[in-house]
Structure 1
Amino acid sequence: MSWSTIFALAVHDIKAKYAGSALGMLWELAEPLVTAGIYWFVYTVALRGDAVDDIPYALWLMVGIAPWFFLSGGLNGAAVCFHDYRFLVRKTKFHAEFLPAVRVCSAALSHGVFLFLVYLILCFSGFRPCLGQLWMLYWFLAGAAMSLGLGTILALWCVYLKDVAYAVKVLIQLGFWITPVFWNPAALPESFRWIIVWNPAAILVQGYREALLYGRNLTWQIQGMFWIVTVVCGAVAWLLMKKCRPFLADHL
């Protein structure tokens, strides 16, 4: 299967998701914007929280929530891709192993639109464009790689155990609270810093903020932690897919 086919299926996936909706893909932007607005109000108005490193909290939050919704959307979609496309999986000539990539690509397209909106808001808020912000593209691809590896593992588990799809939603909710999306990681006690160091989602969120807000990248040591987890997930996903692919249709 070519990348053009994967892209075409991803576009079709988005269209099918909002078929019959008057606003269409705008609903894809509504959830992260509303979520960011709620947390901004609670933190800055109700709790009277301060800016982070002299950056308005609303902007700091919006940049951090963008990769989180990309990751969570990719994982949620990939986890159920074989069930949603069971009619294609049962076709012997269809390369079902690419379906997780279709869902990650679908999440990436939606994320790209939201990210463009976030960047426009930053520019209108006084942030000057700089070359260092291009590191965001690096983290965009890094997030897609992690979503693909972990999403493929979850998709295969979901074929044999449908409860995995429900567990993923619960774990993503848990992950949101232990990932510094709306809270400042600098406020975390030293004894709990391992939550950030070994949490690839936390590193991804930090990578986006470093690129878009400061025009720089994370240290190679921190990036190494992220890629260790991502490469391991990718290798496990490849081995599981190689073993399970011939039997997918039998379990759907």
Structure 2
Amino acid sequence: MFSVKGFSKEIYNSRKMITSLAINDFKMKYAGSFLGITWAFIQPIVTILVYWAVFQVGFRSGQVEKVPFILWLMSGLIPWFFHYEAMTSATNCFFEYSYLVKKVLFKISILPIVKILSSFFVHIFFIAVMLLIFAIYGEYPTIYSIQLIYYVGCLIAITIALSYITSSIVVFFKDFGQIVGIVLQFGIWVTPIMWNYKMVPENWRWVFKMNPIYYVVEGYRDAMFNHVWFWEKMNESLWFWNLTLIYFVIGSIVYKKLKMHFSDVL
């Protein structure tokens, strides 16, 4: 059964190995290409510019929540980029590191964490870029901005919880990786990232609030310009952490049930 204390202790004891593998994974991901790790930053930047051009220039979107559209858009897209990249990478981690999975003494339970940490390096850069662009527009960090640390933790927690489910299942059902990709592509549209959830009738908003990534996206916006503390949304916070814990428990059960057979099918 899943134990937060036991899981945290295992991660802490393996922290040096996780960090080392994550740094190596980050470097190797773009090894051999002319621009190298620069590609990790180019694609998200281009995506943000494309969405900005389509929605603000093309559709002439005005201010949202009293800030320029580009700031509102960035604060939603940046956490989504991390979640998308981390989930995609972590889902296939046992395939990518199959040579480690077959080693009896290696703790393969850290592999999803390795892939998520590798993706997190890029996320740190984009948080810095976001803060810089906000400052250029005259929106400077406030005391509320410190909540970014909390919401980054939320994003990492839900991604880890989900990745143990997806990475365990995909070993035996390879098509599941494609399903995860489709769900993630669909997810960017059902999560209020490029549209304001206030457009939805109030009696239907609870449907979108059930999505844990909604909590994180709105949290980034609360930290950057809405100026709302997370404890002011206690019901949503409790829902998020209860749901994350449930995913952790499911992921723990699925992983423990299937890991003994990983080496047989990889």
TM-score (norm 2): 0.91
**Aligned-partner Cα distance in 2 for 1:113–1:26:** 12
SS in 2 for 1:25: helix
SS in 1 for 2:192: coil
**Aligned-partner Cα distance in 2 for 1:66–1:143:** 11
Are residue 5 (structure 1) and residue 17 (structure 2) matched? yes
SS in 2 for 1:94: coil
**Aligned-partner Cα distance in 2 for 1:32–1:139:** 20
Instruction: Name the aligned partner's letter for residue 163 of structure 2.
Output: G
1:149–1:237 contact (8 Å) kept in structure 2: yes
Number of the residue aligned with 2:45: 33
Aligned residues: 252
Instruction: Name the aligned partner's letter for residue 171 of structure 2.
Output: V
SS in 1 for 2:36: coil
Number of the residue aligned with 1:64: 76
SS in 2 for 1:127: coil
Instruction: Name the aligned partner's letter for residue 60 of structure 2.
Output: R
After the TM superposition, which segments of 4 or more aligned residues of structure 1 sit over 3 Å from their partners? none
**Aligned-partner Cα distance in 1 for 2:217–2:43:** 18
Per-residue CA deviations over 1:27-84 (Å, capped at 9, x if unaligned) read: 2222222122111111112211121022000111011101001111111011100000
**Aligned-partner Cα distance in 1 for 2:75–2:48:** 10
Alignment counterpart, residue 102 of structure 2, candidates 90, 107, 120 = 90
Q: Give 1:129 shift.
A: 2.1
Number of the residue aligned with 2:264: 250
TM-score (norm 1): 0.96
SS in 2 for 1:19: coil
Instruction: Name the aligned partner's letter for residue 4 of structure 1.
Output: K
SS in 2 for 1:55: coil
Are residue 220 (structure 1) and residue 234 (structure 2) matched? yes
Q: How does 1:171-190 map to 2 (within 5 A)?
A: 171-190=183-202
**Aligned-partner Cα distance in 1 for 2:58–2:128:** 29
Instruction: Name the aligned partner's letter for residue 221 of structure 1.
Output: N
Q: Give 1:190 shift.
A: 2.9
Q: Give 1:191 shift.
A: 4.4
SS in 1 for 2:140: coil
**Aligned-partner Cα distance in 2 for 1:30–1:182:** 20
- Cα RMSD, aligned residues only: 1.3
Is there any run of 5+ residues in structure 2 with no aligned partner, and where? 1-12
1:135–1:216 contact (8 Å) kept in structure 2: no
SS in 1 for 2:177: helix
Q: How does 1:1-252 map to 2 (within 5 A)?
A: 2-218=14-230, 219-252=233-266
2:215–2:240 contact (8 Å) kept in structure 1: yes
2:131–2:140 contact (8 Å) kept in structure 1: no
SS in 1 for 2:79: helix
Is there any run of 5+ residues in structure 1 with no aligned partner, and where? none
**Aligned-partner Cα distance in 2 for 1:181–1:24:** 29
Per-residue CA deviations over 1:188-230 (Å, capped at 9, x if unaligned) read: 1234313321011111100111112234333111111211221
Identity in percent: 33
